[in-house]
Homo-oligomer: A and B are copies of this chain.
Amino acid sequence: MADINSKLEIGVTTGPIRGSKKVHVGNRRVAMREISLEPSSGEPPVRVYDTSGPYTDPNATIDIQAGLPSLRREWIMGRGDVEEYDARLVKPEDNGQLGPDRSGGVPAFPNVVQRPLRAKAGQNVSQMHYARRGIITPEMEYVAERENLGREFVRREIEGNSWGAAIPEYVTPEFVRDEVARGRAIIPSNINHPESEPMAIGRNFLVKINANIGNSAVASDVAAEVDKMVWSIRWGADTVMDLSTGRNIHDTREWIIRNSPVPIGTVPIYQALEKVGGIAEELTWEIFRDTLIEQAEQGVDYFTIHAGVRLPYVPLAAKRMTGIVSRGGSIMAKWCLAHHKESFLYERFDDITEIMKAYDIAYSLGDGLRPGSIYDANDEAQFAELYTLGELTKRAWEQDVQVMIEGPGHVPMHKIKENMDKQLEACGEAPFYTLGPLVTDIAPGYDHITSGIGAAQIGWYGTAMLCYVTPKEHLGLPDRDDVKVGVVTYKLAAHAADLAKGHPAAQVRDDALSKARFEFRWRDQFNLSLDPDTAEQYHDQTLPAEGAKTAHFCSMCGPKFCSMKISQEVREFAAKQNQPSDRFLAADASAEDAEKGMAEMSKVFKETGSELYMGAGDREHD
């Protein structure tokens, strides 16, 4: 475990993840994590995608009170299409008026930006707008370098089934530009969040994961939330959503954004509802609009907008087993029914888009009617909304505003692919961003797993970002440990999806770890894993001695029985025999050689036709 940076009022975990160091690659100085292996292995260091920001860089000074350095400020100003202006004044209701303040109050962030940025009159500062005009931004260059990760270490031809995605051999800045231009990927990057390290969400890039944090009316406080944000990106969260409700929403968000190197998303309707005392019927376009501006100026990178919850769909949800389980969705449904009017989010969608493009905020079109149970999966209400989100996607694209689409939720395995297929069809390949889905409802306390199963599958089918679920889902607010378990679970699900899609760089890490395992390089095995601390701790529970870290056995079988050990003896033994496979014994034999070898061997089988080889010979006919 790294140390808690104790000199800060708000303590966060800093220091490198064990066995690895921060490196900066390319002319955009893209941050990556490099894991060096035991010299004995003769293996090169393994580079892995790094979402942790400066917090894992020993050379960086972390000051939560000041916030992170503005990596992108220069790039943004350099484009000459933005202007500074006096920020909207913070109102008391921005920090909520409801219920007792259990947090003991949240101090305002000391270093608030007084003059935020927005597009000059008539300008559009979205990455999609630049992309469509053929401009490759520094953000796109950064993404290209970041996504190419480790392709140079690829051992062999890549296999996989990407279900029609178009994953390139090598990611060029031009490829990134093209994906963003056609709406197939987004780079969430509010011009007022220059601290963020550019990342892409799209079907042809690495599958990303999101971690949710935030205060609620009954629990949590700002220090804990900032700590959770830093903790979640340490373990691999690509974006973080601040889902705070109740008190201190504005100030909590400021602390989070100023200290976040990853894009931050929110659901503005939550704060708007706080401003009207929690009474949905009293929501108005003016209050909502004012909230969008407030959050735009703070630097929120994407907004969840539930504009697909239309009046006519509400009755469809009314007959469900579990009705409407999306908070935003239920709020808008209530508003629609109360006024018997079409949703103001739907009616005012183009006005919202006007705001988005002035700050380059991406839409995350919310699935307010997602199913809340296996029983309700893939029903009429859900798909009615999905096709409306497709219609809204095209409207946002008309103004060059970036869009991703939120998806379910609770879906049994045999109904998962239909979600992906319909989304691709309805939303013109705009990135899909799903919550799980959970593949069964019977395991509260283990919903990081019930949903990790669904997430790995829908990620494989083409979902671009997976919203994590923690063990506390449906039961309570996640604590620090839950956040880590949720992030690691989703990281492995996303990686499994990348492997299955045939992402060129994905298998490098698996191969390195497998090889370390086979060669009993225990430390390398720990360091290459998603959670080195837990891996080593589990190993040491049975064999704590230092010597065991280099022992050619483990506690599972003991010294005499180790299959790996025997298997190595078998390899040496076989090497002595004169088998045609001899020359392919080296673990790093290329795929081509191996295939040549197979052909040659079966030729020998046929010639000799000796009984010994019958079994293998038979296989020729399959």
Contacts and interface: CB of A to CB of B under 8 A. Distances in A.
> Of residues A372, A443, A511, A613, which shows the largest number of chain B Cβ atoms within 10 Å of its Cβ?
A443
Interface stretch (A123-131, A139-147, A395-403, A577-585): A577-585
Contacts of A518: 321-323, 372-373
Contacts of A278: 560-561
A364 B605 CA distance: 29
Contacts of A554: 474-476
Interface stretch (A11-19, A36-44, A486-494): A486-494
A320 B581 CA distance: 11
Given A518-B372, A538-B475, A584-B319, A159 B441 contact: no
Q: Report whether over half of chain A's contact residues are helix, strand or loop; otherwise say mixed.
A: helix
A513 B616 contact: no
A218 B558 contact: yes
B510 A373 contact: yes
B558 A99 contact: yes
Q: Which bucket holds chain A's interface residue count? A: 35 or more
A539 interface: yes
Interface string A556-568: 1111111110111
Tallying the copies of this chain within the complex gives: 2
A325 B564 contact: yes
Nearest to A522: B475
Interface stretch (A73-81, A256-264, A286-294, A495-503): A495-503
Interface stretch (A24-32, A173-181, A226-234, A446-454): A446-454
A442 B529 contact: yes
Contacts of A310: 615
Contacts of A172: none
Interface string A433-459: 000000111111110111011001100
B414 A318 contact: no
A129 B231 CA distance: 60
Contacts of A317: 567, 570
A249 interface: no
Contacts of A216: 555-558, 561
A136 interface: no
A414 B373 contact: no
Nearest to A499: B412
Contacts of A218: 542-543, 555, 558-559
Contact of A510 (B440, B511, B616): B440
B477 A514 contact: no
Contact of A570 (B333, B479, B580, B597): B333
Contacts of A374: 499, 507, 510-511, 514
B570 A387 contact: no
A315 interface: yes
B413 A492 contact: no
Contacts of A500: 412-414, 439
A15 to B, nearest CB: 20
Contacts of A586: 319
A376 to B, nearest CB: 8
Contacts of A322: 514-515, 517-518, 564, 567
B453 A312 contact: no
Contact of A496 (B412, B539, B560, B615): B412
* Interface core residue of A99, A493, A496 (most chain B CB under 10 Å): A496
30 contacts: A216-B556, A219-B555, A278-B561, A312-B613, A312-B614, A315-B581, A319-B584, A321-B587, A325-B563, A325-B564, A329-B563, A330-B563, A333-B566, A372-B514, A372-B518, A373-B510, A380-B598, A387-B615, A413-B456, A414-B502, A439-B456, A440-B492, A440-B499, A441-B517, A442-B495, A442-B509, A442-B513, A444-B526, A472-B541, A476-B556
